[in-house]
Amino acid sequence: MRLLNLKNISLSIILIIFTVLLFKYLLPAANGTTETEQPSITANEDMALVKPEADSPPLLNNLYLPKPETFKPYPERKLLKGKYLQAVGGFTIPRIKIGKTYHRSIQLDFLPGSNKWVTGHSAGYVIELIEPEQIGIGAPETWPTLKVARKQPALQDIRKITASGVLWLNEDEVLTSGRKSYRSGFEPKWLAKVNLATGTEIQYTITSESNTKNDNFHMLQALGGGFMRLTDKEWSKKYLNGIGFLLGKGGYDVLGSPLGPALGYWEMDNKPPRILLDYPHNKQPATRDPYYFYPEKDPNTSHLAHIPMWKHPQGDTGYWQAGSVGGLTFINHPEVKGVLATHNFGRGLHDYRAQGDLGSIRYFLVQRPEIFYTERGLGRRNDRGNHSKEIANSIYPEGILAHAGRVFDPDALVEVYNNKKKPWETQLSQFEWPDSGLKWDVSSKNPTVVGSVTWDNQRQLLWAAIGDRKQAKLVAYKIIVDDDRPNIPMNLPDQWLEYHNERNAQNLK
């Protein structure tokens, strides 16, 4: 009898354990399933938590809503600096399965005054995400995961356009857009409005003002795949006719893309957008730091290494090569202003042939010259332009991926809107993106990048989606206006700085 009771107890324990595992790992979440996270970044344990006010509503924990009278006039506000940003915690972005497709996007938008986010999915959906009750603090692997809620199909019948950029219009309606590969040509239906409650989808037909082949494709690459909410409604009423958001993202993706961030004014109709920020390659690329080079040590270096639209640095001023833009946001802080774009790019040796061959990484960056310019770079890849034969170029230092914030005064948008300057004449300042103790993957197959950025008016937080194929986090930053805080050090090996100084000295001769 005792043996029988022990068997019954053992069977009960096994049944309980099986049930727990079933609910935790096997049962799909409503409207999509999430895969167990494998975090690869860690954070400092001394990250300060934003303190909530006593009367904060539950869905807006850690709330800090400034009084209107505390906002300085825009001319008196300081332009955002990287040193002002202090990470305070965040959430984990889930990897979502729809059908047979897993996808984790670092393009998100926040519904003001709520606990809701929205994202796109490569299977052709927009998906609502809900914040957990509390923001995660401490090590990112402990941060709670955004919960999958409603989803609806979007742009599924449009060839090679995927729901990428997203923007809440209200608690049910979302705008979404994408952009294309240059090999597939222009598509006029690249933006849609989707109702998460009813499933209704309205697709817009949007072309450029000239409606020519090249202008249409450039407009799509400039404005598709992103949005920027104008978080200061009074400012928008005064200067931009009360528009609630701008289209745009920009950054180099394929030939015909902007060499910098881009924004456009659009009134939710089928009329062409009006470009307010843009850096066409045949006009003027956006500026950047000058720490990039082209191979020249080998006398047999192919002319294919450098393409005409890539400009050499002029002194300490560099020009956009092939960096990507993660997103843009409008900062509305009592003491700080700025339109902020995230920028992922390379420092070191750029070679147009560096498109996936061994030793290369994103943005035409040669990460490992000792591989790329020798027979070690052949592998199973192509040997574009015989780069493996240019042995003398193999002695260059390694290239590195960099991440920056590009910021400018909102008045620049007003000047373009009033026809006082061209969209490519806006000057961008640059700061290193703060890692806040995070560890970034720099491997050629899985590099971490900064995605969308979102300004949260009510919590006065800047949210940045940061991630790679293995993991992604939605990081919250508060702004500390203190010019005595140290500048964020530039991620630049000394050898590349020496190369730059030598180049400047030669140019002065």
pLDDT, one tens digit per residue, over 67-76 is: 777 899 999 9
Q: Which of 260, 496, 259 is nearest to 399 (CA)?
A: 496
For the four alpha carbons of 324, 247, 152 and 91, in that order, the dihedral sign comes to positive
How far is Cα 237 from Cα 29, in angstroms, rounded to an integer?
42
Cα Rg, the chain, nearest whole Å = 24
Whether the Cβ atoms of residue 448 and residue 466 lie closer than 8 Å to each other: yes
pLDDT at 440 over 70: yes
Backbone angle region of 84, left / alpha / beta, with phi > 0 → left and psi within -120 to 50 → alpha: alpha
Give the model confidence (pLDDT) of 136-164 as tens digits: 988 998 999 999 999 999 999 999 999 99
pLDDT at 90 over 60: yes
Q: What confidence tier does 181 reach under pLDDT thresholds 50, 70, 90?
A: confident
pLDDT at 494 over 70: yes
Task: Tell how strand 472-479 and strand 96-98 pair up.
Answer: unpaired
How far is Cα 227 from Cα 166, in angstroms, rounded to an integer?
7
- From residue 391, alpha-carbon distances to 41, 245, 305, 375 in Å are 36, 51, 14, 9
**Residues pairing with 339 in the sheet:** 330, 408
**What are the φ and ψ backbone dihedral angles of 387, each rounded to 5 degrees?**
-65, -25
DSSP tag of 24: I
- DSSP helix, strand, coil percent of the chain (3-state; round to 5): 20, 30, 50
Give the model confidence (pLDDT) of 253-312 as tens digits: 888 899 999 999 999 988 899 999 999 988 899 999 999 999 999 999 999 999 999 999
Residues sharing a CB contact under 8 Å with residue 284, sequence separation 6 or more, in sequence order: 424, 425
Mean pLDDT of the chain: 87
Q: Which of 220, 180, 183 is nearest to 204 (CA)?
A: 220
Query: Looking at residue 29, what is its pLDDT?
Result: 38
Task: Tell how strand 85-92 and strand 472-479 pair up.
Answer: antiparallel
Q: Which of 144, 104, 148, 130 is nearest to 451 (CA)?
A: 104
Tokens standing for residue 234 = 């009074």
Q: What is the pTM of this model?
A: 0.87
